[in-house]
Amino acid sequence: MRIAVGSDHAGYALKSALIEHVEDAGHQVIDLGTDSSEVSVDYPLYGLAVGRAVAEGRAERGICVCGTGIGIGIAANKVDGIRAALVHDVTTAGLSRRHNDANVICLGGRTTGAAEALDAVDAFFSTEYEGGRHQHRLDEISEYESTGHAHPPPGAATDDHERQ
């Protein structure tokens, strides 16, 4: 599998360990940077780069790492077709695939230990999407991405009719 990987300076050390781990597992890595923990860089650039690589088909999945995994994940999710999930362990990594068909995993270099991160990445790559009852939720997200419109939940206030 081709994996796009990117991080900011705060995620660089964990990104390096993850690259070695996934290469040892036989995956091809596209390292989109950064190349140092010494120079402060902006996480959106790297989250967007990973997101684009996956959305454009240059990679099948992506790994994003910043200090917490939050900011870089928000950036990756701005790319249409990306479902970037912030994970903390094997359970959240597996569920991100099983229920959400996540295609990018986001981790925190300052919040997740290396051993947990390696196990989470393994779970992310080995877990298949269940589909079934989860598919209509992904369809709702895709519809919003393509049209800019979403159906309000039953009983929810809308712009045209505010709930009293």
Residues annotated as part of the active site: 66, 99
CA separation, residue 133 to residues 105, 145, 150 (Å):
22, 20, 19
CA separation, residue 95 to residues 48, 51, 69, 82, 145 (Å):
23, 20, 17, 16, 22
Residue 5 per-residue DSSP state: E
Cα distance between residue 132 and residue 121, in whole Å: 24
- Closest to 73 in 3D by CA, of 91, 57, 92, 58: 92
- Identify whether 111 is preceded by a cis peptide bond (ω within 30 of 0): no
Cα distance between residue 118 and residue 129, in whole Å: 20
Any idea what the Cα angle at residue 92 is, between residues 63 and 69, rounded to 5°?
40
